[in-house]
Amino acid sequence: MSATRIPAGYVPLTDAAPLIAAQEMGFAAEERLVLELHRAPSWSSLRDMLAFGQVDAAQMLAPVPVAAALGVGGASTPFSVLSVLSVNGTVIGVSSSLARRLADAGHDFSFDDAASAGKALITATGPGLRIGVPFPFSMHTELLHYWLQGLAADTGRGISIRTVPPPLMTDAIKSGEIDAFCVGEPWGSLAVENGAGALLLPGRAIWSFAPEKVLAVRSAWAEAEPGLAGRLIRALWRAGRWLADPASRGLAAEILSARRYLDLPAEIIERALSGKFTVTPQGLQREVPGFIGFHDGAAGFPWRSQAQWIALQLAERTGLDRHRALRMAGPVFRSDLYRSALRGTGADLPGASSKLEGTVGTPLLAAGESGTVSLLPNRFFDGRVFDPMAAD
């Protein structure tokens, strides 16, 4: 039987790895699929490529399909999330001058304590702080809002979060247009490499198990092509498992660094995959185990509660009705399709499709469809718990 071609889009980032590995390492071929990979210059253009049918599947910021379902942002086509491609994988950084002020004030750049780093940042800058993010509907934006609110810093009063395309982030920091940024790797490491800034925190210090990029398709496509959707889910699940193996890191970084994909040095890309970071231009090293997750802890499972957490954050920010937002968002993450695609493959499938977010402190065995599922720590920096049932 001949392979089916699926045009798929991605944005050049380290976490585009599952799509690229699925094609390059033959996981797509195992499902008789050929992924025609299209590199998109921006998130809005990738979203539109998907909406208008230029591609049938896309790596997408987790909040984009949720925002579309709520009717905010530029998309009017309904999207479905087939799986989570990556968990965490972003960094927060500051300009070199701000890094100096933080260091002078005694901040140790420990790279793991969101509360103390946040307080140091706000004390050093006051309310005028300007932070760059790649897209208004992104985990970067949501995590920053959550973090600043948790620190009782009202983002409405002075602190501004503005959109800066990742390739322009270094320039924006250098020219003083922004003081800090939250961006996906390798753009943070590139800013350090260019001497523009220093890294303050990994995104996971704010929420240790935040869905970052998802595999999105048009909802109509998912309905019309359930078989293809299942094959796609399985191919990407295998790619995620391969990427999670430390032995794959070197090769994964090499493949990603190719000119047609990220076109950046493998050494910089490998920092995120290995969790070994250079956080200042002076060479300070920090290690972040599990900086980015592709597989462990049922990382690929699209929890409806993840979609609802995002929806609630969006609703609060845009003044939408909370109840409606929760109701509309849940079904966007298709835990049902994910289950049916992976049943019988040996993949970890949780027993529920929604969970309390923020309760898992140490790795935990939870009830699965058959046997148990191991879950990884899932904590918010301020210890809060998100209960989708109570929120409604």
Partner 1 sequence: MPDALSIVVVETDRERAFMIVDGLRDAGEFDIQVISEPSGLARQIQMRDPDVVLIDIANPSRDVLEELTLASGAMDRPVAMFVDRSEDGMTAAAVEAGVSAYVVDGLQAARLKPVLDAAIARFRLFQRMRTELAETKRALEERKVIDRAKGMVMKARGIGEDEAYALLRKAAMDQNKRVAEVAQALVTAAGLLA
Q: Residues in the site for partner 1, rule: CB under 8 A?
A: 41-45, 48-49, 51-54, 71-77, 134-137, 162-168, 171-172, 175, 177, 318
- β-partners of residue 333 are 81
Toward partner 1, which CB reaches closer, 67 or 120? 67
- Cα–Cα distance, 361 to 372 (Å, whole number): 18
Q: Please state the closest distance from residue 323 (CB atom) to partner 1, in A.
A: 17
Q: Please state the closest distance from residue 149 (CB atom) to partner 1, in A.
A: 17
Calculate Rg over the CA atoms of the chain: 20
Toward partner 1, which CB reaches closer, 9 or 240? 9
Q: Please state the closest distance from residue 188 (CB atom) to partner 1, in A.
A: 17
For residues 17 and 83, the answer to whether their CB atoms sit within 8 Å is no
**CA-based torsion, 101, 106, 110, 112: positive or negative:** negative
For residues 124 and 156, the answer to whether their CB atoms sit within 8 Å is no
Toward partner 1, which CB reaches closer, 318 or 345? 318
Q: Please state the closest distance from residue 390 (CB atom) to partner 1, in A.
A: 27
For residues 134 and 184, the answer to whether their CB atoms sit within 8 Å is yes
CA distances from 210 to 165, 293, 348 (A): 21, 10, 18
- Cα–Cα distance, 261 to 38 (Å, whole number): 9
Q: Please state the closest distance from residue 132 (CB atom) to partner 1, in A.
A: 10
Toward partner 1, which CB reaches closer, 150 or 165? 165
Coil/strand/helix, residue 278: strand
Cβ-Cβ contacts under 8 Å for 218 (sequence gap 6 or more): 50, 51, 53, 56, 77, 78, 79, 80
Q: Please state the closest distance from residue 184 (CB atom) to partner 1, in A.
A: 13
Q: How many residues does the chain have?
A: 392
For residues 305 and 356, the answer to whether their CB atoms sit within 8 Å is yes
Q: Please state the closest distance from residue 48 (CB atom) to partner 1, in A.
A: 6
Toward partner 1, which CB reaches closer, 2 or 76? 76
Toward partner 1, which CB reaches closer, 318 or 370? 318
For residues 239 and 27, the answer to whether their CB atoms sit within 8 Å is yes
Q: Please state the closest distance from residue 25 (CB atom) to partner 1, in A.
A: 25
Coil/strand/helix, residue 130: strand
Toward partner 1, which CB reaches closer, 62 or 288? 62
For residues 38 and 52, the answer to whether their CB atoms sit within 8 Å is no
Toward partner 1, which CB reaches closer, 169 or 337? 169
